[in-house]
Amino acid sequence: MIYNYVGISGCGVSQSDIFYSGYRLFENPLEKLRVKDKSSFLLSPEIANIRQQRVAALNQERRIIIDNDGGDVLTCTGTTIQDFLDLRPSCFVDTQVDTLSYNTTRGVGLYEHNTQIGSVFVSTSVYPHNMIPGFLAQGTDPLKIVTNFCKSNGLEIFWNMRMNDTHDAAEPYRTDEFAQSNQFKINHPEYLLGSYQNPPIYGYFTGVDYMHPEVRDFLYRIVEEVCKNYNIDGIEFDFFRHPVFFKCQANGQDCNSSEWAMLNELMRDIRNMTERRGIERGRPILLFARIPDSVDYCKAIGIDLETWLGEGLIDAVIPSDYYQLNNWEYTINLCAKYNVNVYCGLSETRTTAGTPEYLLRSDKKCTRARAMNMLGSGANGIFVFNQPNCYSPLWYQIGDVETMNGLDKIYVTSATDLDNIPYYIKDGSRFINRQVVMPSEPISLGSGESTTVKLDVFEDMNNPGTATLKLKLRFLNSINVSDVSVSINGNLLATGTFVSPYIEFLVNKSYMIFGWNEIEISSASANQLIDLYLNVDYPGN
């Protein structure tokens, strides 16, 4: 039976009243409204206490959150639980990693943890090293193993639920191992965004359409089951895998208030459930959301972000992944109004592999610079995704400004290109609100023209004060060094030197501003500026 949402908008209810939330019916004896003031309500001691605990839990230190991208249980060539742990989780102990977010989703309906609601991925035809069947035979599963490991080693553990992962859209679809293991999608092809023969315009056809109440109910029950069966500290809702949730969006239309209401309802129900579960176990469950960093873009894909923030439906935002639409301050300032934390998303470089721009942005120096800008902008911490080297020295560095001071860095306008933005939504580029200089995003200069590029450098160049700074420009066509004139924050730089494929300019560190720096570039001949970065080198590094 499906009920209309009533929530807490009425008045004069008693603790024995039944609340109807979306299409789930449950008793909530823990909240009641003020009769004279519909805008506020009294909290039961239990609810008030669990929310205070949630605030305390949220405010604990999270220098680095590592998102385990999933799949380690499928590719580990070992045979024991310890072999599995040594592949990834073990390497983060005693580093700056404070939180591990463990993904078990292989598409809505298919999971790597032991679920009675969805399907468990036990196939070994394509993944012969799949350890899940063996773990189940031992009475455990990957999520339980990782949760226990984190608890024993002082790490916070989140479960990561991908909200519409479509890695099962392989060709040909009918022989894909994930697709053939997912009973929910096999039984209900009508819930999908399209078909192999009739794919949607945006996104992949194997995504589910949240317009169906049965889809939202299924997701709610999956989350509820995990909250009951696993000793997790929180949940990461990954709306970046993959950001198409409604068929209207998949067919080229922006979502509107109808779609917003559906996702709002789901998030309210999940928050209510996690509070009840938190009371039962005596410890809160935090809710984080990884989402695009734009209120308008979020609305266009069905996410009413400001309602989520205003109603306290999530505790933290993780902005950016495939692309970044705004500068970090945009999300940080937005969330600050609602006392919601921000953990900036530091994903892998998404540019063409092997190119100079890829090698540059994949360098540890660039990763440190990105982290420096995130923390300098006011982020509560760093969220790391798809960084393959689990034993990298970066896990001892990028969670703290102090440990990055004195280490080499490469500052760029963007570590990712913008090519993915239009893939998931019609005219996606309309949401871009920041400047990017890359080969895929060149700046054209006519003869005698100039342009200004803003580069964020949230590093105090006087601490420790020994850095050598070089600004490097790359043009599409050959150009005489003498044709290029550059100033930083109004300070003219000396003529550069050509070091293929860049023109290098020495920069006096006193010219730099902590934060945003304006770089004015003039060219005596027509050309295209296709890359720009600031190299910060410290002696002995």
pLDDT, tens only, 176-221: 889 899 999 999 999 999 999 999 999 999 999 999 999 999 999 9
CB neighbour class for 464 (10 Å; exposed up to 12, middle 13-18, buried from 19): exposed
Say whether pLDDT at 528 is over 70. Answer: yes
Question: Which residues partner with 498 through β-bridges?
Answer: 503
Average predicted confidence (pLDDT) for the chain: 90
Task: Identify the pLDDT of residue 1.
Answer: 27
Q: For the whole model, what pTM was predicted?
A: 0.92
Say whether pLDDT at 160 is over 60. Answer: yes
Q: What percent of the chain has pLDDT over 90?
A: 82
Q: How far apart are CA 67 and CA 385, in angstroms?
A: 5
- Mean pLDDT, residues 331-358: 93
Pair of tokens at residue 134 = 């063996």
Range list of β-strands (E), 133-259: 156-162, 234-238
Q: How far apart are CA 245 and CA 2, in angstroms?
A: 21
Question: Which residues partner with 363 through β-bridges?
Answer: none
Looking at residue 277, its amino acid is: R
pLDDT digits (tens, 9 = 90+) for 472-482: 999 999 999 99
Q: How far apart are CA 207 and CA 179, in angstroms?
A: 11
Name the nearest CA neighbour of 315 among 263, 256, 373, 274.
Answer: 274
pLDDT digits (tens, 9 = 90+) for 81-102: 999 999 999 999 999 999 999 9
What does residue 261 show for φ and ψ, rounded to 5 degrees? -60, -35
For the chain, domains (ranges, CATH) are 1-43 (no CATH), 49-431 (3.20.20.80), 443-537 (2.60.120.1200)
Task: Identify the pLDDT of residue 497.
Answer: 98
Q: How far apart are CA 242 and CA 379, in angstroms?
A: 24
- Mean pLDDT, residues 315-335: 96
pLDDT digits (tens, 9 = 90+) for 368-406: 999 999 999 999 999 999 777 888 999 999 999 999 999
Q: Which of 53-57, 265-269, 355-359, 447-451 bottoms out in mean pLDDT, i.e. has the lowest?
A: 355-359
Which helix (H) or strand (E) segment is 248 a member of?
A: helix 247-250
Pair of tokens at residue 127 = 């993944």
Name the nearest CA neighbour of 242 among 175, 348, 307, 168.
Answer: 168
